[in-house]
């Protein structure tokens, strides 16, 4: 055991033992020719000494395919099953992969320990590519996957300058459409409940809201902006905050249907009628919107089609990688959104 403590060795430990970078270790494991013989020998020696995933990696050094794709969601089980967005995305991904005879591995990565364990799994080449959604601005996983030499496609993006291939919806357009609709209904004190602002989708929807306020000739007021977390309870907290700060508000754009449901509960508790006193609009056009009382006006994003498109792009990149040592990044795809008007506004 070379005096090593118990526990599975990590990619970083192999790199440190071999005196090379983590990317070099990944290239050796993946059979890349872009490694010097000296570095290759050092990495193989370190792998042998540390016992780093020797059995599974051995089957993949020759470049064999697993016919499996990982869909990674960095969220808790509670959030996964409470948020219609994830379920519809999974449905789209699963349908497209099933038609291509590919296996889907659904993985939740919530902690640093789970990230390291997933990194080992990827380094062992147990999947051919990775789909990753619910990405935050500082998420290292997309870069890690690419460093390991695996194709990756994101659902959403970390920033406007995203370097990885991604599929997204027109989030800013969603905010603009919601505000234009509310202003067109004569509302003048339009508030918003945002998602977490370290997520590009939430920031873009907020940008669209502000653009809509300006286009409608309304006075911007930061007291009408409250930040939440895409959960129902977050929507409740934000709605209470908005009513405390701006009791004269007459409309709310919530950046998800689930948050709109939370906001609806607080409005009812406060004796505010929807839509007579406060009009309400969400995003997703999920089952939540259709089942609310009154049914919720919502900006539809084609979530299931996003999942299908992500899977198609990834499968194409996997095929390109098999044919070429340097596959070209897939062009990003931004799918349109559509306002679906119901009784809440």
Q: Tell me, what's the pLDDT at 71? A: 96
Mean pLDDT of the chain: 88
* pLDDT number for residue 331: 62
For the record, the structure tokens of 8 come out as: 């599975």
- Residue-by-residue DSSP string for 115-153: HHHHHHHHHTT-SSEEEEES--TT--HHHHHHHTT--EE
68-169+304-336 is classed CATH 3.40.50.720: no
% of the chain exceeding 70 in pLDDT: 90
CA distance 75 to 107: 10
pLDDT at site 237: 98
Per-residue pLDDT of 55-75, as tens digits, reads: 444 444 445 678 899 999 988
Beta-carbon contacts of 3 under 8 Å, excluding residues fewer than 6 positions away, are: none
Does domain 171-300 fall under CATH 1.10.286.10? My reply is no
- The backbone torsions φ and ψ at residue 132, rounded to the nearest 5 degrees and listed phi first, read -135, 125
What is the domain class of 11-60 according to CATH? Answer: mainly alpha
pLDDT of 218: 97
Other Cβ atoms closer than 10 A to 59: 12
How many angstroms separate the CA atoms of 235 and 257, rounded?
9
The C-alpha atoms of residue 190 and residue 323 are separated, in whole angstroms, by: 53
How many percent of the chain have pLDDT more than 90? 60
Tokens of 111: 């902690």
> Could you read off the pLDDT of 187-239 as tens digits, one per residue?
999 999 999 999 999 999 999 999 999 999 999 999 999 999 999 999 999 99
- pLDDT at res. 21: 84
| Neighbouring residues of 123: CB distance < 8 A, sequence distance ≥ 6 | 11, 25, 26, 29, 53, 57, 148
Listed by start position, the domains of the chain span 11-60, 68-169+304-336, 171-300
Using the predicted structure, report yes or no on whether residue 328 has a pLDDT greater than 60: no
Instruction: Give tens-digit pLDDT for 138-196.
Output: 888 888 888 888 899 999 999 998 888 999 999 999 999 999 999 999 999 999 999 99
pLDDT at 2: 41
Please determine whether the domains at 11-60 and 68-169+304-336 fall in the same fold group of CATH.
no
**pLDDT tens string 88-112:** 999 999 999 998 889 999 999 888 8
């Amino acid at each position: 055991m070379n005096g090593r403590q118990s526990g599975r060795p990590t990619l970083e430990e192999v790199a440190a033992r071999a005196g090379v970078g983590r990317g070099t270790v990944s290239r050796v494991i993946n059979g890349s020719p872009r490694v010097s013989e000296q570095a290759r020998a050092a990495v193989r020696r370190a792998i042998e000494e540390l016992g780093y995933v020797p059995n599974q990696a051995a089957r993949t050094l020759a470049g064999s395919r697993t016919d499996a794709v990982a869909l990674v969601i960095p969220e808790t089980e509670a959030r996964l099953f409470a948020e219609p967005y994830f379920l519809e995305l999974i449905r789209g991904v699963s349908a497209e992969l099933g038609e291509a005879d590919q296996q889907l591995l659904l993985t939740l990565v919530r902690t640093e320990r789970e990230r390291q364990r997933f990194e080992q799994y990827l380094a062992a080449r147990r999947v051919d590519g990775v789909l990753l959604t619910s990405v935050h601005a500082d998420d290292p996983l997309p870069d890690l996957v690419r460093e390991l030499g695996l194709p990756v496609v994101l659902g959403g993006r970390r920033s406007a300058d995203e370097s990885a291939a991604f599929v997204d919806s027109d989030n800013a357009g969603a905010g603009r459409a919601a505000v234009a609709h509310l202003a067109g209904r004569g509302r003048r004190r339009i508030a918003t409940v945002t998602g977490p602002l370290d997520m590009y989708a939430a920031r873009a929807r907020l940008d669209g809201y502000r653009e809509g306020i300006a286009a409608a000739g309304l006075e911007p007021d930061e007291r009408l902006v409250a930040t939440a977390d895409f959960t129902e309870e977050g929507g409740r907290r934000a709605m209470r905050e908005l009513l405390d700060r701006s009791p004269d508000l007459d409309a709310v754009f919530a950046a998800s249907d689930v948050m709109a449901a939370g906001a609806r509960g607080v409005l009812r508790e406060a004796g505010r009628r929807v839509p007579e006193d406060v009009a309400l609009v969400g995003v997703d056009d999920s089952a939540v919107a259709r089942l609310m009382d009154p049914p919720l006006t919502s900006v539809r994003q084609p979530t299931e089609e996003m999942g299908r498109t992500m899977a198609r792009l990834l499968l194409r990149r996997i095929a390109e990688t098999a044919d070429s040592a340097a596959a070209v990044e897939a062009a990003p795809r931004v799918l349109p959104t559509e306002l679906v008007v119901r009784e809440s506004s």
